[in-house]
């Protein structure tokens, strides 16, 4: 079960360079195999690709010095947060220095009146929300893991609230970034909107550290809703579940969360979380607003559900009961992997226009039925985004090839429906072969930008596309 380690042949780091690193970082420079392997690993199915050194940065100024040093010595730099990305986004494919930002986790400012805050890149999303709770504020973006805000920015993460509150693309007002030429820039001011020049904020969001190292993030926040209510509903058909969501969005119901779990996923959570949901497609809802408005939303959506073959609409606005209702969703990934003891999870995602979602999921389910590898489907149905989680035997090359083939067909299917090869995980290493199919010559523009900003190709090299 140990992951293979891939270390392409390369010369060791120059001892003189190492001494300069040590002068900068002291005991926060790590050269041990264990530390390098940890930073060259990932939560996903990729081989481990360790860097040659790891440093723990404590300030933007230190990152600037590191960048100047690495650039002078032609050494790659890979920014590292919580290590929770799942397309191999932080693997050190050409070695170099992994710069761990997790100690830069300060919450620098909360501007309650402006509904924004500024945090260092290593701040984690749960830490931020705990800090904000007493002020009646929250930050909505919630990928499955307790990721760092910098990492979430770099992969353009989203999660279950995106249907109402958007993704990291919409959530970020401004970034502090260290560029490959060692500049320490702010991409924008704190105003809610601006028409001042190129949108460098959005250029850095989703660039996976290939154009700059994000050290600070200014985020939009939201007031905690007066009332939060949750609901769960099983459906006779997948189409009925999707139609319910499409109709609700069209008539303007501001769904805060709406998640779909297929029958296999429900089976998995019944086993894992000791639940007894009927083994059919389910929708998990959350509604935010004033009590009267939430009640109205629930009434509207439960009527739509009934018209589309939905069963009993279980709902609650009590926190414990809400947690119980959503337990199946929260534990979905672990439940999927637990379907097969000894397996590892291979999670992939695509996103399609919502009118094609039911068809895309149905075709994918038919494809999964041809496979011996257990797999579940769950998704952020309001966005047209869904995940397939395979419980794969990592030691069986044939099985790995089978999963790769199914993943390839899934992406082709999504692209044929005018969708994208990744809704929220980024390209990393795992989706590179599909990017060109998705965007064609537009990828050349990305290469031109990369070459202009990082001519030595030292910032997280080998990610998103080959140079």
Kindly state whether residue 441 participates in binding its own copies, applying the rule CB under 8 A.
yes
> Tokens for 128?
């931020």
Among 57, 231, 352, 403, binds its own copies (CB under 8 A): 352
Minimum CB distance to its own copies, residue 304 (Å): 14
How distant is the alpha carbon of residue 73 from its chain centre? 32
- Round to whole Å and give the CA distance between 349 and 390: 11
Interface with its own copies (CB under 8 A), residue total: 94
CB nearer to its own copies: give 283 or 421. 421
CB nearer to its own copies: give 28 or 202. 202
CB nearer to its own copies: give 207 or 337. 207
Kindly state whether residue 288 participates in binding its own copies, applying the rule CB under 8 A.
yes
Range 373-392, binding its own copies (CB under 8 A): 383-385
Kindly state whether residue 275 participates in binding its own copies, applying the rule CB under 8 A.
no
Kindly state whether residue 206 participates in binding its own copies, applying the rule CB under 8 A.
yes
CB nearer to its own copies: give 308 or 420. 420
CB nearer to its own copies: give 396 or 418. 418
Kindly state whether residue 20 participates in binding its own copies, applying the rule CB under 8 A.
no
Site string for its own copies, 112-131 (x = CB under 8 A): xxxxx---------------
Kindly state whether residue 142 participates in binding its own copies, applying the rule CB under 8 A.
no
Kindly state whether residue 351 participates in binding its own copies, applying the rule CB under 8 A.
yes
Among 353, 405, 466, 467, binds its own copies (CB under 8 A): 353
- By CB under 8 A, which span of 186-194, 233-241, 274-282, 340-348 interacts with its own copies? 186-194
Neighbours of 169 (CB within 10 A): 16
Among 156, 220, 267, 387, binds its own copies (CB under 8 A): 156
Among 72, 292, 323, 401, binds its own copies (CB under 8 A): 292
Which residues in 237-260 are b (16+ Cβ under 10 Å) and which e?
ebbbbbbbbbbbbeeebebbbbbb
Range 410-429, binding its own copies (CB under 8 A): 414-415, 418-427
Among 61, 72, 355, 401, binds its own copies (CB under 8 A): 355
Range 217-256, binding its own copies (CB under 8 A): 222-223, 225-226, 246, 249-252, 254
- Round to whole Å and give the CA distance between 2 and 11: 26
Kindly state whether residue 197 participates in binding its own copies, applying the rule CB under 8 A.
yes
Minimum CB distance to its own copies, residue 48 (Å): 23
Residue in this structure with the two tokens 């290939």, named with its chain if needed: 210
Minimum CB distance to its own copies, residue 421 (Å): 6
Q: Which of 288, 289, 170 is nearest to 221 (CA)?
A: 170
For 303, the enclosing helix (H) or strand (E) is helix 291-307
Minimum CB distance to its own copies, residue 317 (Å): 16
Q: Which residues contact 74 (CB under 8 A, 6 or more apart)?
A: 456, 458
Kindly state whether residue 157 participates in binding its own copies, applying the rule CB under 8 A.
yes
* Burial class for 274, CB neighbours closer than 10 Å (0-12, 13-18, 19+): exposed
- By CB under 8 A, which span of 40-48, 71-79, 346-354, 402-410 interacts with its own copies? 346-354
Q: Which of 361, 341, 339, 342 is nearest to 350 (CA)?
A: 361
- Round to whole Å and give the CA distance between 385 and 221: 23
CB nearer to its own copies: give 48 or 179. 179
What's the distance, Cα to Cα, between the start and end of the chain in Å?
Answer: 33
Minimum CB distance to its own copies, residue 245 (Å): 11
Number of helices (H), then strands (E), in the chain = 17, 18
- Round to whole Å and give the CA distance between 284 and 252: 18
Kindly state whether residue 304 participates in binding its own copies, applying the rule CB under 8 A.
no
Among 42, 90, 100, 155, binds its own copies (CB under 8 A): 155
What's the CA angle centered on 172, arms 171 and 175, to 5 degrees?
A: 165
CB nearer to its own copies: give 121 or 172. 172
For 261, the enclosing helix (H) or strand (E) is strand 257-261
Q: Which of 410, 391, 380 is nearest to 143 (CA)?
A: 380
CB nearer to its own copies: give 35 or 207. 207
Say if residues 107 and 447 touch (Cβ distance below 8 Å).
Answer: no
- By CB under 8 A, which span of 38-46, 124-132, 203-211, 331-339 interacts with its own copies? 203-211
Kindly state whether residue 58 participates in binding its own copies, applying the rule CB under 8 A.
no
Which DSSP string do the residues of 422-464 spell out, in sequence order? -SSS--TTTTHHHHHHHHTTHHHHHHHHHHHH-TT--BSTTSS
């Amino acid at each position: 079960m140990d992951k293979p380690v891939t270390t392409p042949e390369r010369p060791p780091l120059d001892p003189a360079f190492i001494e300069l690193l040590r002068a900068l970082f002291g005991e926060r420079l790590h050269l041990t195999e264990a530390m390098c392997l940890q930073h060259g690993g990932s939560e996903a199915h990729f081989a481990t690709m360790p860097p040659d050194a790891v440093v723990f940065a404590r300030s933007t100024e230190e990152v600037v010095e590191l960048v100047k040093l690495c650039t002078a010595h032609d050494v790659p730099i890979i920014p590292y947060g919580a290590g929770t990305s799942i397309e191999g986004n932080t693997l050190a494919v050409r070695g170099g220095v992994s710069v761990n930002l997790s100690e830069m986790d300060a919450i620098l400012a909360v501007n309650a009146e402006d509904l924004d805050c500024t945090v260092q890149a290593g701040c984690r999303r749960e830490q931020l929300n705990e800090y904000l709770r007493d002020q009646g504020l929250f930050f909505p973006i919630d990928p499955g893991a307790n990721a760092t805000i910098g990492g979430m920015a770099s992969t353009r993460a989203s999660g279950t609230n995106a249907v109402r509150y958007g993704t990291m693309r919409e959530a970020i007002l401004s970034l502090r970034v260290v560029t490959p030429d060692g500049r320490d820039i702010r991409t924008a001011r704190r105003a809610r909107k601006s028409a001042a020049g190129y949108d460098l904020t959005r250029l850095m969001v989703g660039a996976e550290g290939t154009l700059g190292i994000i050290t600070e993030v200014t985020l939009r926040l939201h007031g905690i809703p007066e009332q939060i209510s949750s609901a769960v509903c099983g459906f006779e058909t997948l189409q009925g579940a999707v139609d319910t969501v499409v109709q609700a969005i069209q008539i303007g119901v501001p769904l805060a969360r709406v998640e779909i779990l297929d029958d296999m996923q429900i089976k998995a959570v019944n086993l894992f979380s000791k639940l007894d949901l009927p083994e059919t497609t389910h929708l998990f809802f959350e509604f935010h607003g004033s009590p009267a408005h939430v009640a109205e939303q629930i009434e509207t959506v439960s009527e739509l559900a009934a018209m589309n073959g939905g069963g009993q609409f279980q709902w609650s606005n009590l926190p414990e009961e809400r947690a119980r209702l959503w337990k199946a969703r929260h534990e979905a990934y672990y439940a999927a992997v637990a379907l097969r003891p000894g397996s590892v999870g291979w999670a992939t995602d695509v996103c399609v226009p919502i009118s094609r979602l039911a068809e895309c999921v149905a075709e994918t389910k038919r494809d999964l039925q041809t496979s011996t590898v257990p797999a579940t489907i769950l998704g952020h149905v309001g966005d047209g985004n869904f995940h397939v989680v395979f419980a794969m035997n990592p030691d069986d090359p044939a099985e790995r090839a089978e999963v790769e083939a199914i993943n390839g067909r899934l992406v082709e299917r999504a692209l044929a429906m005018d969708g994208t090869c990744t809704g929220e995980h980024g390209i990393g290493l795992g989706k590179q072969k599909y990017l060109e199919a998705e965007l064609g010559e537009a990828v050349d523009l990305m290469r031109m930008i990369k070459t202009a900003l990082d001519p030595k190709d030292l910032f997280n090299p080998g990610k998103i596309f080959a140079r």
